[in-house]
């Protein structure tokens, strides 16, 4: 009886101490980072990277493999409309895109869930993100 009285609370404590393995909230969190709009002001390619991250966050609709693939495809299509993007490699399960820009800069882009669309990013070239995918 005493073992059960000790074991049950220990079991409950252990079960509540287990962390979640859902990576998206940690990746999309902007805590401790340079604000997205400030990073976008560093240059044209940085603004495009922020816009892609915002569209990746907007595209997020769940954790199923199909949803992750659709989300990555949608963000990839948006990235390809930006003038300085050379190629995009999606990683749907990792919630990220690897983007290569004309300058040679390669950036790993994660979701930026700040409630803004990519088109709201300051520093984007005129008409960026509105043409058809290349």
Q: Give 80-115 pLDDT, tens digit per residue.
A: 999 999 999 999 989 999 999 999 999 999 999 999
- Tell me if 89 sits within 8 A of 98, measured CB to CB: yes
In this structure, is residue 13 part of a structural domain? no
If pLDDT is split at 50, 70 and 90, which confidence band does 133 have?
Answer: very low
In this structure, is residue 132 part of a structural domain? no
In this structure, is residue 77 part of a structural domain? yes
φ, ψ at 100 (rounded to 5°) = -110, 130
In this structure, is residue 12 part of a structural domain? no
If pLDDT is split at 50, 70 and 90, which confidence band does 28 have?
Answer: confident
In this structure, is residue 130 part of a structural domain? no
Q: What distance in Å separates the CA atoms of residue 88 and residue 82, rounded to the nearest whole number?
A: 11
DSSP secondary structure letter of residue 20: P
User: What is the number of domains present in the chain?
Assistant: 1
In this structure, is residue 15 part of a structural domain? no
In this structure, is residue 127 part of a structural domain? no
Report in angstroms the alpha-carbon separations of 65 from 21, 22, 23, 118, 124: 15, 13, 14, 24, 31
In this structure, is residue 92 part of a structural domain? yes
The pLDDT value given to residue 6? 67
Domain, as residue range, for 29: 22-120
The pLDDT value given to residue 108? 96
- Its pTM stands at 0.81
Q: What is the mean pLDDT of residues 61-75?
A: 93
């Amino acid at each position: 009886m005493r073992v059960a009285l000790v074991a049950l609370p220990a079991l409950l404590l252990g079960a509540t101490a287990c962390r979640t393995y859902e990576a998206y909230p940690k990746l999309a969190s902007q805590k401790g980072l340079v604000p997205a709009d400030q990073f976008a002001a560093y240059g044209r390619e940085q603004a495009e990277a922020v816009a892609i991250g915002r569209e990746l966050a907007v595209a997020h609709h769940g954790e199923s493999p199909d949803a992750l693939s659709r989300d990555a495809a949608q963000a990839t299509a948006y990235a390809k409309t930006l003038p300085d993007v050379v190629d995009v490699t999606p990683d749907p399960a990792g919630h990220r895109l690897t983007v290569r820009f004309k300058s040679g800069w390669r950036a790993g882009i994660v979701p930026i869930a700040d409630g803004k669309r990519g088109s709201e990013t300051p520093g984007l070239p005129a008409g960026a993100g509105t043409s058809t995918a290349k």
